[in-house]
Amino acid sequence: MIATSADLHNQDIQLIFDFDKLDVNRLLGLKNKELITAGVISVQIQDKPIRALGLRVSFVWGTHYFEADQFIQYRYQATTLQQSPVQPLQHLQFNFDRDKFHPIV
């Protein structure tokens, strides 16, 4: 959906995997119930200072039930600091009528 919307508006996107996922989880209040694995940006990355969020994000249960899987938790912790190779993003391989999709996206 993100790639389709970006293509519809003639925007490039970049998938990012190399960032402090554990810190993002902490900042967003996700605890171990949600696992951030990647991000998508549609702007030019610039060198500028980064500041912390100005407010605390409350955690809201989506299902009111959670059972931790130790294998998933361990592997997630082990892979959060791995570096990812940079790969070019492939553009969409299908054609669609932009005028029909524009009001939807």
Q: Average pLDDT for residues 81-102, to the nearest whole number?
A: 68
Give every CB contact of residue 27 below 8 A, 6+ residues apart in sequence: 52, 53, 57
* Spatial separation of the C-alpha atoms in residues 83 and 86, rounded to whole Å: 9
Q: Average pLDDT for residues 96-104, to the nearest whole number?
A: 67
Residue 87 has pLDDT above 70, yes or no: no
Predicted pLDDT at 35? 83
Predicted confidence band of residue 103 (pLDDT cuts 50, 70, 90)? low
